[in-house]
Every structure is written in C-alpha cells, then in structure tokens.
Structure 1
Amino acid sequence: MKILLVEDSATLRHAHCSYLRSAGHTPIIAESGEEALQLVEKTPVDMVIMDVEMPGLDGFETTRLMREWLGNDWIPIIFVTGKSDDQSYLEGIDAGGDDYLIKPVSPAILGAKIKAMERIAHMRQQLHQLNTELETLSQRDALTQVYNRRSFDDLSRQQWLLANRRQEPMAVLMIDIDHFKLYNDFYGQLSGDDCLVKVARAIQNTLRRPADLLARYGGGEFIILLPDTNLTGARQVADAICVAIRDLRISHQMSKTSSVVTASIGAACTSHYDGRTLQDLINQADKALYKAKYAGRDRAKVVEFSPLKSLLVADDDAQTLDLLGDELVGRYQMAVAGNGEECLEMAQSLLPDMILLDIRLPGMDGLAVCQQLKRFSDTASIPIVLISGMHKAEQLRLGKEVGANDCLEKPLDRQRLLAKLDNYLTGVP
C-alpha cells in the first residue's frame, strides 16, 4: 500500500518509515499539513497516517480539507497524537478520521490498525464494484442486454436537451419484429427469446457511434435515438437494420411477410425544437411504424417531424374544399379523400389527428365510413366531425349512431369551423 505519513518530527518519521517499509508498504512523506494536501492532489495514496499537533495546519484541519477535496473517494485516515483526552478523540473522528492512536505507538499496534483499515478499504472496493454491477443491471434489459425502457427515457431526455441546446438534428426509430407473437406461439418462448437476442445484436452492430441509443421497448419492439442525424442518415440506418435482420435468416414459417424473420421500422427526424417534445417525436416515429406495416412490412418508413397537426378531409364538393384550403393552409397538414373507400384507406395509412367527413360521399357514404373507422383499433380514437347540409339535430342523431364526435352544417361557417378544429386538435375550446 502507498501510505502518506504526515509527521513534523524527523525522529518519528524515520521510525514509522522503517516499520512501513519492513511491512511491505511504500511510505510517502509530508512534513506539514500544507505539504500533505499538495501531495494528495497529485499522488494517489491508499491510506494516511496523520500527526495532529503540527505547525501551521494541524492534523484535524488538514483532514477536513483533505476529505473535502477527495469527495466520495474514501481513503482511511489514522490520527497519531499525544492528546489522550476524550474531547480530542471526538474532534478527530468528527474531522474525518477513522482511527485515533495515542503516542507512543508500538509497531505491533500500528501494524494491526493498518491491516484493519486495509480490510475495510477492500470491503468498500468490493461494495462499490457490486453497486456498479447492480446499477448496470438495472439499466439493461435482462434478456437482450440493451438498455431497458426506463433507462432509455432517462438517457434520451438528456440527449434531447443537448440537441436542443446545440440545435442539432435528431432521429427516433421504432422497430417492431414482424409477426413476433406468431413466431413465439409457433416456436416457443425459448426460441422467441433467442430470436430477440439475435435481433438486438444485429441492430446494435449497425450502430456505429457511442451516443447512438438502443433500447428494448417491450415485446418484440425496440427503439433507437440517433443524435445529430438528419433524414438521410436515419433512412440509411433504418434500411441497414432491415437488411441486417433479414440476413440473420431466422426461419419464420408463420410469417405472412417472409419465410424469415423481418422487421418494420418507423423513423421520425427533427431539427427544430420550439414547441415540441421528445414524446412528440416518438409518437411521430410510432405513426411512421404503422405506415410501414400498412405498406406491407419488412421495410422502413422515414418522415420529417412536423409540428402541424394532420387533418383528413373527405369531401367531393369543390366549394367546400376551396374554403377549407383557404382557411387551413399553414395551420394544419391537410390531406383530401374524394370518396368513402379512399377515406378509409387514407385514414388507416396516414392516421390523421382528425377527420372532417362529408355524409354524402360517392360510393360508401360518410356514415358507413365513420362506423368502420370506429371499429378499427388504430383509428377508433381519431376525432371525426361529420359535415353535411342536414339540420344539426338530424346530424347529431345520425352521428351518435355511428360514433362520430361532432358535426358541422354546410355551408361551413369559418368561425365555427376553426373553433371545432381548435377544440379537437389543440384542446382549446
């Protein structure tokens, strides 16, 4: 052990140094408290033997300053002094000492105290190592050894704040193993676990930077946060992950997509942070994931995150569409469906934040469309406002039957229209 000996007496320094060397330790000498503090700042030591009565800084004050400088880095400090009163003993322990010896100190007692402190230091080191291992385990998914969801939430928030401060782009990727439940049911949980481990490893191997953050999000789903990554970079990573998972060649007889295990990926990117949250970006990536699944799976859908809420308008009346276009451009992202069948398809693929639905549509009418959308789990929660030339009471009655959220009468009134949109899209009544 490297032992710092702080002693102003040349005679005692010599005696203690001789003993320490004979016991196999390396003494480092300081003749004053000031010199001891300078040495500790520059030289790592394992233990300190501290005289109390010294010119300048005494042993108690030196120890207080030493503990303050060391912070959480604990090393044992043994006081050696001629003060034998109880008050001095208590003052020494309060100052940060771990033991208190009265001069003259026999080599046998000093050796025993050093061994005891060495044992305590070793136990603290083991405890620190165990705590570090436990902390690592608490951050990792037990099966795949990538980060768990709780750790992702903590670490991603830090990355989000950093990217916001630096005004750097950021991307979030949501990855879902295609038909993983069918795989688990057919091959069994052990095979399912093995599949998850291999997929996690394949994903991790595509990530090249230490700051890229991969976590298991639940079941067969993973999430990645890519700092300083634009739309092009996110697309490259997403495509590479699709290929890497496909190239594992894990047989999947129950897949409706491929004979091997594949994955669908949704990615969202942003470089503007005002009025946006990390959860907004994750939600956008989740929507993109659904679109990748709807498009046939085994593919990536990458989108630029927009702060504008999305609105699907299903109407074939040119006058109504002109009015909506004039009022809503720049306020919302607007998509238009000209008939009922098109509205159903676009609602399932786009997952808009709200739907304006004309009752009298060509083909499947708006009531039938609304009824179907409310039956689908992915679209059931989307607010649907019916529009038609009917009286409001009749609209409300029909809307209630099919699960619509509200209605508007034609011709559309600008103020009422904007009030409805604000109510359902921003929560402002």
Structure 2
Amino acid sequence: MKQAKPIIICIDDELTVLDSLKIELKKAIGDECIIETAEGGKDALELMEELIKDDYEVALVLSDYIMPDLKGDEVLRRMHEMSPHTIKIMLTGHANLEAVGNAIKYARLYRYLPKPWQSEDLKITVVEAVHSYLQDQKILEQKVQLKKLNRELEELTRNQAKIIAQRTAELEKANQELQRLAILDGLTQIPNRRRFDEYIRQEWLRLSRERNNLSLILADVDFFKQYNDEYLHQAGDNCLIAIAKTIQRTLKRPADLVARYGGEEFAIILPNTCPEGSLIIAKRIREEIAKLKIPHSRSSVSEYVSLSMGISSIIPFKGGTHLTLINLADKALYKAKNLGRDCIMLELID
C-alpha cells in the first residue's frame, strides 16, 4: 500500500555530507517527506528499485556528481527511466557543463546547485521541488480520475444510446402495430372500412393514369340477421370470421384486397381486372363459401350460409370518382338480393 508521505533520496559518498543534507532538509520541509540516504550511485539505484517495487512515491532525488562507482548524471538518468515523475537535483562542486547538459537532456534535471551549498538556496530549491512534485501528482491523479470519469461517461452514453435505440425500435414497432390495427377489422382481422376507402381512392387515381380496369365486388351474407337469431351472436361472429378468411384465401394477387365493408357485408377490390375476370373471381368465392357448409336453417335459398354479390367494373376516367364504382356495385348487389339471393349480378356504366 502506498505510503502517505513522499520520499526524498539523498546520494553522496561522504557520510558527513549526507548527515548535513538530512539536517538541512528537515529544517526546510519538516515532516512533510521521509528522507532516505544512499552512499553511492549503485546503492541509490537499488534503493530506488526497492521503493518503486513496494509502491512508494519518490518525490525528489538529490545526487552528488563525483562518486567512486557511478557519476551523478548517469545515476539520475537511470532513475529517470525508473521514475520519470521524480524530480532530480544535482549537488557538486566538480560538475562540468557537459554533465549538467546530459542530466538535463536524459534525466530532466530540475536544478543544479553548487557545493558547498547555501542553506537558503537549498531550502528554497527543495521546498519548490517537493511542492512541484506534489502538484504534478495531484494533476496526474486528476487526469486519471478524469479518464475514469470519461470512460464511465462513454459507457453510460453507449448504454443510453442502446436504451434510446431500443426504446425507439419498440416505439416504432408499437406505432407500426397501431397503424396496422387502425386499418384492420377487430373481429375478422381483415382490412376495415377505413382501409377500403383509402385503397379504392388510391387505385382509382392510379388506374385513371394507366387507363386500366378497376373492379369491385360487394358481397352480403344472406339472411344474416336470422342466422344470428337462430345460432346466437358468437356463432354469427365465427361465421363472419370464416367467410373473411375464405375470401382472403381465394384472392391470389397481392394487389387484391378484401375488407369488411360493414356488418355482414364484404368488399373486394380487384385492380387491373376486367368484368369477365371479376365474374370468375366472384364465382370462385361463391364456390369456396359453399364448401364451408355452415348450416343455416333460417335461410330460404340454401341449407347453408350463402352470399349475394354485386359487381362493377370501370376504367377510371378524368372527372369521375371511386364513388361511381361503389354505387354501381351497390346497385348490382341490390339486384342480386331482389332476384332471390345466393347469386351474382354485374352492373356496368352506361
């Protein structure tokens, strides 16, 4: 565990100099730092290595230049490699400019003080060096903390982005589901009257430009009120669902659309379909409904549920509207009912 106080290492091959340095440093910094000594360059390097290994902070090194084993500039250079943030000061009366230059270049020498030193100069230099080191460490710690906070913020931002993307996708999915539900009949799950109105207007405009046929089949369940009275409303609902599924299954083209038009009435929009083609489709639907063999004891035209159908087919024209097509199909359906039901009638524009 890192100690509370930083360490100062004093290096000199003379014990009397080391003792003097310790006294001077105590006067300068009191108990602010722990003072260690080394009698030579090799001892100093070993001491530095042990302190770093044990996770101690070495704030300052004061080294003599002339020593028997290693020169001061070489000692400081090696110490700089071990601890770049440690502040280095060289104390000697024999250093040449080249040695000082090497120490500055390779060890980031903080200051050079001549020996014998002036007590006041030593005091000011050491106090400034220690405070500079502590300030640098504080800045480093703040940078580390800032990097940590930035990483946490980036992670939070990424998580928030994921959450936002997820919520956006969920919202989009929910909106799509709402839009889907808005155009579906709640009972039969086929397009509702709203979707029918949108689609027939759309196809009228498109086919008026392309000059091609648009056909419409209106189909009504024969004697459906009597069916409900006889078999009750749940059976009536099941009957409508079965008819809707059957018509939808009978239509083969993606552009064809069956919608619940209202009550027991269904509408089938057939783009690009001529009168003859719409008749074929209507007959096929009538046959498929007959195959269901849904009993209807109250029907006067069949023992099973049947449909009356009215067909209209027009090439949409400029100045006309889709209402023309609807009115013609409605007129044809009315004729089919009046002719006895369970039949198909076609009405064309005059």
Give the TM-score taking structure 2 as reference length.
0.57
Deviation of 1:105 after TM superposition, in Å, equals: 6.5
Is 1:226 the counterpart of 2:270? The answer is yes
Q: Secondary structure of the equivalent of 1:188? A: helix
CA contact (8 A) 2:185 2:192 kept: yes
CA contact (8 A) 2:214 2:316 kept: no
Structure 1 range deviating more: 154-163 or 295-304: 295-304
Name the structure 2 match of 1:240: 284
Unaligned runs of 5+ in 2: 1-145
Check 1:232–1:168 CA distance in 2 against 1; reply closer, same or farther (3 A cut): same
CA contact (8 A) 1:264 1:298 kept: yes
* Alpha-carbon displacement from aligned partner over 1:306-335 (angstroms, at most 9, x marks no partner): 3xxxxxxxxxxxxxxxxxxxxxxxxxxxxx
CA contact (8 A) 1:234 1:302 kept: no
Is 1:282 the counterpart of 2:323? The answer is no
**4+ runs of 1 displaced by more than 4 Å?**
102-105
- Counterpart selection for 1:251 from 295, 299, 308: 295
- What is the distance in 2 between the residues matched to 1:183 and 1:217? 19
Flag the structure with larger Rg: 2
1:20-169 aligned at under 5 Å gives the runs: 106-169=150-213
1:189-228 aligned at under 5 Å gives the runs: 189-228=233-272
Q: Which amino acid aligns with 2:301?
A: T
Name the structure 2 match of 1:394: none
CA contact (8 A) 2:336 2:344 kept: yes
Deviation of 1:211 after TM superposition, in Å, equals: 0.8
Q: Which amino acid aligns with 1:190?
A: Q
* Alpha-carbon displacement from aligned partner over 1:46-76 (angstroms, at most 9, x marks no partner): xxxxxxxxxxxxxxxxxxxxxxxxxxxxxxx
Deviation of 1:275 after TM superposition, in Å, equals: 3.8
User: Of Structure 1 and Structure 2, which has the larger fraction of its residues in helix?
Assistant: 2
- What is the distance in 2 between the residues matched to 1:301 and 1:109? 72
- What is the distance in 1 between the residues matched to 2:263 and 2:331? 18
Q: Which amino acid aligns with 1:230?
A: C
1:348-427 aligned at under 5 Å gives the runs: none
Q: Which amino acid aligns with 2:278?
A: A
Deviation of 1:135 after TM superposition, in Å, equals: 0.8
Unaligned runs of 5+ in 1: 1-101, 307-429
- What is the distance in 2 between the residues matched to 1:123 and 1:272? 45
- What is the distance in 1 between the residues matched to 2:193 and 2:349? 22
Deviation of 1:113 after TM superposition, in Å, equals: 1.5
Deviation of 1:203 after TM superposition, in Å, equals: 0.7
- What is the distance in 2 between the residues matched to 1:155 and 1:169? 15
CA contact (8 A) 2:301 2:340 kept: yes
Is 1:291 the counterpart of 2:346? The answer is no
Q: Which amino acid aligns with 2:315?
A: S
Name the structure 1 match of 2:311: 267
* Alpha-carbon displacement from aligned partner over 1:335-384 (angstroms, at most 9, x marks no partner): xxxxxxxxxxxxxxxxxxxxxxxxxxxxxxxxxxxxxxxxxxxxxxxxxx
CA contact (8 A) 2:205 2:316 kept: no
Name the structure 2 match of 1:67: none
- What is the distance in 1 between the residues matched to 2:287 and 2:342? 9
Is 1:178 the counterpart of 2:222? The answer is yes
CA contact (8 A) 2:207 2:316 kept: no
- What is the distance in 2 between the residues matched to 1:136 and 1:272? 28
CA contact (8 A) 2:301 2:342 kept: yes
CA contact (8 A) 1:231 1:303 kept: no
Q: Secondary structure of the equivalent of 1:215? A: strand
- What is the distance in 2 between the residues matched to 1:225 and 1:252? 28
Name the structure 2 match of 1:304: 348
Deviation of 1:246 after TM superposition, in Å, equals: 1.1
Q: Which amino acid aligns with 2:267?
A: I
Q: Which amino acid aligns with 1:180?
A: F
CA contact (8 A) 2:188 2:244 kept: yes
* Alpha-carbon displacement from aligned partner over 1:224-268 (angstroms, at most 9, x marks no partner): 111000011010011111111111100000001100000000000
CA contact (8 A) 2:250 2:285 kept: yes
Aligned residue pair count:
205
Q: Secondary structure of the equivalent of 1:250? A: coil
Deviation of 1:104 after TM superposition, in Å, equals: 9.4
Q: Secondary structure of the equivalent of 2:292? A: coil
- What is the distance in 2 between the residues matched to 1:103 and 1:304? 79
- Percent identity over paired residues: 41
Bigger relative contact order, structure 1 or 2, given CA contacts below 8 A and separation 6+? Answer: 2
